[in-house]
Copies of this chain bind each other. A is one copy, B any other.
């Protein structure tokens, strides 16, 4: 019934080893022999059993991607984009992408070592990484918020993205810009806050501490903080949030409270998930190339697997997408 490498070997009058060599492009084979073997393979449509391969090569050819199951639809949207990038790169490298969810405990597939590497989304508590290390399974974390993490990461240069956003707002004539950051992501808060400060100072402006606000990274929490901001006059002329979700939550709430956007107050975010195009006014934002993030994560993991020395990657992203939520002043 199913052909094996031995059958092919016989048909080509060579040894199984030879066949294995040409399949894996390893060892040394005379052109003549190789051609003969390739011919037989083509004619028979032979495909080597990947399971045998897994067993003898002690590789699973799986890469497992761990998403937090409790994550919001927002993160889903973001990470699905990242996953596309991973998947594209992975299939080029001959890996399967297996999707697992993380609900507090390490997925079976990594406990079983049924994966050649794992990609985590966002930084987890360090004891989780200890587990993976203990299993000596290579891993990387994608969308890490930590700049010099003691493990392989690829992240966005959030400071730079925030800088780009604030610069845009400044260029549009805004001088009283509120920063509404995610208090449940301290590292992200910190780096984007730095970008905010830096952009001001680059323009010879002094960032005002009183314009720094925080909320959880949820629509409602951002809305509540926004309501509070609107409670006191004068209003900032613009509000910047380092994430679509917060920005949209804030904007929608402001509108509910009677503020006109962007006439009375402008909003700007980072991420550029599809939501930006569906809210009204459409959200001006800094574009994040999620697939790119995925591609780099997969490459980094591949290098890890190969045992190559690697550096953590920080992707610079600062392309602002102008839409309708920011008013040009004066």
- Please give the distance in Å from A61's CB to the nearest CB on chain B: 8
The answer to the question of A43 belonging to the interface, with a C-beta cut-off of 8 Å to chain B, is no
Contacts of A114 in B (CB 8 A): 50-51, 96
Residue from the list B77, B84, B280 in contact with A252, Cβ < 8 A: B280
Residue from the list B51, B84, B113, B280 in contact with A280, Cβ < 8 A: B280
The answer to the question of A36 belonging to the interface, with a C-beta cut-off of 8 Å to chain B, is no
Encode A134-176 as 1/0 by CB contact (under 8 A) with B. 0000000000000000000000000000000000000000000
Report the stretch among A17-25, A52-60, A199-207, A296-304 that lies at the interface.
A52-60
Copies of this chain, complex-wide, total 2
Interface size for chain A: under 10, 10 to 19, 20 to 34, or 35 or more residues? 35 or more
Contacts of A73 in B (CB 8 A): 77, 274
Contacts of A62 in B (CB 8 A): 96, 98
Q: Which of A75-128 contact B (CB under 8 A)?
A: 76-77, 80, 83-84, 87-88, 91, 96-101, 107-109, 111-114
Q: Is the CB of A98 within 8 A of B96?
A: yes
Q: Residues on A close to B: CB < 8 A?
A: 47, 49-52, 54-55, 58, 60, 62, 69, 73, 76-77, 80, 83-84, 87-88, 91, 96-101, 107-109, 111-114, 248, 252, 255, 274-275, 278-280
